[in-house]
Structure 1
Amino acid sequence: MTTVQSAQRIRRQVVEELYEETLLLADEARAAFDMRGQDGARSEAASRIALSIEGLRTTTRLMNLLAWLLNQRAFFAGELSEAQVRRCGSLAGNRPSDPAQMAALQLGTRALVRESERLYARAERLDRQLRREDANGQARALQGRLANAFGTG
């Protein structure tokens, strides 16, 4: 197995693990931020607002992450070309939680939000690495074409 094949296999495994973790966390987030059935009169208004705001941030973060992971999985499955995944496969910027809103949440909900941020940070590192490797590969390919064009290759 070549180094490139080995790196590709490891990337695929990392993407699959992130995908599974994100799916599980998305399900937990849905349950944690579901405000149906809560008695609004008994819930403190600030807590409900914080739950709503951080719930939206967290679910958006997880959906962006799932979309990126699905693009990566489609690339590994041969459903997207390198050019397609490069063009539409970039991970959206993350909007971190608001400390003031987080303070109004229960500890378990805060932990869930923090876990979504950790998963997103892992994906951002992987995305940066993939883009760096892609840029290096493109630069080497251009150098090769230039060398061939000028007869120095």
Structure 2
Amino acid sequence: MSATATITPAIVEALYEQALCLAEEARLVFDDERDGRDSRLALRATPAEADRRVVLGTEALRTTTRMMHALAWLLNHRAYFAGEMSEFQLRRFGRLPPPQPESDPADLLLLDTRARDVVDRSRRFYARVARLDSAWRAHFAMQPAAVHRLRERLGAAFG
């Protein structure tokens, strides 16, 4: 029998702290990347620099969106554990959106190593939260085998 994920307030709080730190680090890294370039040079940017700027903007948006989705999921679970949200509300409204599309590896090579590292860590973090969400939701799914065993026990008891 497989064990379902038990999500505890301590796990949610630890993940929430990690998410806040990673989101702040992503903001700093992408702001440094954007601000590190002289805005006057943007008008005379080479095609390669223009491509890099597009990739930078795209990855900044993807990373920020990924982290905000994870933070929203964690905030919903915090509200549930604080008694501000029912289990039904959490199951109905606390879904984790699907992950962002994968980036082209060649595009990522246009970014510096700090930015690539933040993108990669945000993906891994999101995957961790997605695994928790999936396991937590599987706990509520109808398990036909369990229903059949219950019917068999009821049939044996009353049959």
Report the TM-score range of the alignment, normalised by the length of the smaller protein.
0.7 to 0.9
- Alpha-carbon distance in structure 1 between the residues aligned to 2:21 and 2:103: 20
Aligned to 2:104: 98
Residues 61, 94 of structure 1: 8 Å contact kept: yes
- 1:53/1:126 Cα in 2 relative to 1: closer, same or farther (>3 Å)? same
Determine if the alignment matches structure 1 residue 126 to structure 2 residue 126.
no
> Please, which runs of 5 or more residues in structure 1 have no aligned partner?
1-6
Residues 54, 101 of structure 1: 8 Å contact kept: no
Q: Secondary structure at the match of 2:25?
A: helix
Normalized against structure 2, the TM-score is what? 0.77
CA drift of 1:45 comes to 1.6
Aligned to 1:113: 119
Cα deviation code 1:85-104 (max 9, x no counterpart): 00001100001333232111
> Please, which runs of 5 or more residues in structure 2 have no aligned partner?
none
Aligned to 1:81: 86
Aligned to 1:65: 70
CA drift of 1:136 comes to 5.0
Aligned to 1:52: 57
- Alpha-carbon distance in structure 2 between the residues aligned to 1:126 and 1:11: 11
- Alpha-carbon distance in structure 1 between the residues aligned to 2:97 and 2:86: 20
Report percent identity of matched pairs.
47
CA drift of 1:36 comes to 3.8
- Alpha-carbon distance in structure 1 between the residues aligned to 2:106 and 2:11: 33
How many residues are aligned here? 143
Aligned to 2:26: 29
- Alpha-carbon distance in structure 1 between the residues aligned to 2:36 and 2:121: 25
Q: How well do the aligned residues superpose, as a CA RMSD in angstroms? A: 2.9
1:18 to 7, 15, 19: 15
Query: Deviating runs (4+, > 3 A) in structure 1?
Result: none
- Alpha-carbon distance in structure 1 between the residues aligned to 2:103 and 2:129: 17
Residues 15, 69 of structure 1: 8 Å contact kept: yes
Normalized against structure 1, the TM-score is what? 0.79
Residues 15, 72 of structure 1: 8 Å contact kept: yes
